[in-house]
Copies of this chain bind each other. A is one copy, B any other.
């Protein structure tokens, strides 16, 4: 795909997801790390199904996927309003989806410019990842042992990643000793996807049970917590994969920096605070196929527990209502 800058390490953006003439092709993340299998989506409905099933996930990447799905719908002569409705309804928490679909709707209905607009959204996400990682370097010192949650790498963004992109860049600069990775139940994005990416990049890491993270932070075996975001409210409250909030509680109680790394496309100035962010409840059988279960997929970390929010625009700190407005401008 022309226009992509190649990645020194990690996944090529077009390996993660790409638009072809009559299909959207993406790496099926449900099969990783056991198999690297492409999933071919032949309609916007196929793309929506891939997002719902977590074959494609990660807030920035689902924005890219929705843009490609919309462009595919235009190429196939599908009803674009219906395609946008179906793509937009797949995941309620992340805001990137709604943003990408607005961008596409504002680009008319002709297939060629829509395909170009979708690829530009993907290229921009790649560029934002690079900028975020550079800005986040300021938090690392030699010997850092960052802890991270879920997957925020290439597989979550289509670029180099948000929090994980920053960690990998810091490791390349000699600033990281080892990485602690939450396995991230129930879907195990940490144990499957982050482990696969770090292993591929040659970065030393150890998986941990999610519930072990707070005590490892309290014992200062982790020196920093870096996470992504599905939606950042105007006041800095941040929705992210469930299990992020306990990391912030432990970090705040211990004086360990808790840093959110996310593109400005994840900042939602129209949502004033975390309580207004819808929290997706996913199917119970992801938790247990045998017994009753509850499965909230996200939690909200209140702004007062967050040390900084890094976007492609730079490092935002409290008071977030001001700094985020500037970052998202």
Contacts and interface: CB of A to CB of B under 8 A. Distances in A.
Instruction: Find the residue from A183, A184, A208 having the highest chain B CB count within 10 A.
Output: A208
Interface bracket on A: 35 or more
A295 interface: yes
Interface stretch (A46-54, A71-79, A95-103, A285-293): A285-293
A208 B292 contact: no
A209 B186 contact: yes
Interface in A274-300: 284, 287-288, 290-296, 299-300
A250 B245 contact: yes
A186 to B, nearest CB: 5
A246 interface: yes
A195 B294 contact: no
Contact of A212 (B180, B205, B242, B250): B242
The main secondary structure of chain A at its interface with chain B is mixed
B210 A299 contact: no
B208 A211 contact: no
Contact of A185 (B209, B249, B288, B294): B209
A206 interface: yes
B290 A216 contact: no
A212 B243 contact: yes
Contacts of A180: 294
Contacts of A195: 288, 290-291
How many of these chains are in the complex? Answer: 2
Nearest to A191: B288
A253 interface: yes
B212 A291 contact: no
A292 B206 contact: yes
A163 B317 CA distance: 42
Interface string A209-221: 1111111101000
Contacts of A212: 242-243, 294-296, 299
Interface of A: 33, 180, 182-186, 191, 195, 199, 204-216, 218, 242-243, 245-246, 249-250, 253, 284, 287-288, 290-296, 299-300
8 contacts: A207-B287, A208-B294, A209-B295, A213-B246, A218-B299, A249-B249, A249-B250, A249-B253
